[in-house]
Homo-oligomer: A and B are copies of this chain.
Amino acid sequence: MTGPGHGMAADIAEQPEVLARLLAPAQADAVARVAAAIARRRPRHVVLTARGTSDHAALYAAYLTEIRLGLPAGLASPSAITVFGARPDLAQALVIAVSQSGGSSDIAEVVTVARASGALTVAVTNNPASPLAAAAELTVDIAAGEERAVAATKTYTAELLALLMLIEGVRAGDGRLPAAERAALASLPSLAAGLLADPTAVDLAQRYRFADRVVTTGRGYAYPTAREAALKLMETSYLPALAFSGADLLHGPLAMADPDVPVLAVVGGGPGGAAMRQVLAKLGERRADIVTVGPADVPGAAARIPVPAVDERYAPLLDILPLQRLALALALARGADPDAPRGLNKVTSTR
C-alpha cells in the first residue's frame, strides 16, 4: 500500500496486535523481570525523561507512579543537564527514559549522567539495540515493530502499556501482576479493535476541516491523552492545537474560548472525569463548541466520541485511538501527508 497516510493508517490499525504482543508471556515476563529488579532497589523517587510523543507517555507514568506507588515523580527537562551542565544527585532515584527510537542523544545523555550519579536507569524503547538502551542499566522493549509513519501512534500506546505493566509490576513487588489486573489488561486488545471499527472520529474530521485552532483538555490520567491528541493534530494536520489540563485551563486560557473555538475534552468515568465537569460548565458558559471523548454523554457537549468504560488507568490506551484516526482523517481532508509531515524526521536530534 502506498499513498498519503497509508503508513499511519497501518500503524494505527496494528495497535490491537501490538498490545496483545506486549501482554503475551514472552514480553510480559521480560517486563516483570525489570519490574522486580526495580522493586528490589527500592527507589525513593522517580524521574522521567522523554521528548515529544514519548513525553506524554512519561507524563502518564508520572501519574501512575504517584498514585499507585506512592513515590514522588517528576519529568526532567533534559536541557538542565545537556545544555546547562546540571549534575543532580540522583542516587536514590529511578530514572525512566522513554524514547521510541532510542536515538535522541539528549535523552541518552541524561541517562548516562543519572547512572553515573547512582540512579537506577531504565530505558523504555522500541529499539533495544539503540544508544539509549546501551546507556541504561535496564531496558524494556515495547516490541511494537517498526513504525511506518513519522507521526508516532502504535509506539505511543505500546509505551503506555509497557509503563503500566512496569509500574504495576513494581507495586506487586515481584513484577507479577495480580490475576484481576491481568484479566482486565487481556481485554484491552479486543476493546481497541472494536473502537477502531467505530466511524465516529473519522466522520468528525468534517467538523474541523476549516478550523484554525482547537483546544484539547483532560485531567489526571486523561491529560496526557489531551496533550498527545494536540501533538497529532499539529504534526499531521498542521492545525494549531492547544492542550491544557482542565485545571490550568481555568487559570487564564479560558478567556480565549468563544463559540468559534472547538474543544476536544477527554472525560472518563472516574475521578478525573468527574473533576472535568467544572471545566466543561465554564466552557459551556463561554459557549465553546465541545466534543467529548468518553463512555457517557456530558451535558452541553455538541457531540461525543464513544469509548469503552474502563478503569481510568486503562482509558489512555483506548481514548487516544479515535483521536489518532481523527488526526489522520483531517490531514487527508486538508491535503497533507501524515506519513511524512513537512519539516519533520523520524528521529529528532536535539541538545
Contact = CB atoms under 8 A, between A and B. Distances in A.
Contact of A212 (B79, B213, B234, B236): B213
Contact of A271 (B45, B83, B257, B271): B83
B240 A256 contact: yes
Contact of A247 (B66, B78, B219, B255): B78
A254 interface: yes
Contact of A72 (B62, B93, B272): B93
Nearest to A79: B220
B66 A81 contact: yes
A252 B344 contact: yes
Contacts of A55: 248
A55 B86 CA distance: 21
A62 to B, nearest CB: 7
Given A44-B89, A44-B92, A80-B66, A255 B235 contact: yes
Interface in A326-351: 341-344, 348, 350-351
Given A74-B74, A235-B252, A255-B342, A278 B351 contact: yes
A154 interface: no
Given A71-B89, A255-B344, A278-B351, 7 more contacts: A45-B92, A79-B275, A85-B271, A212-B212, A212-B213, A235-B256, A252-B344
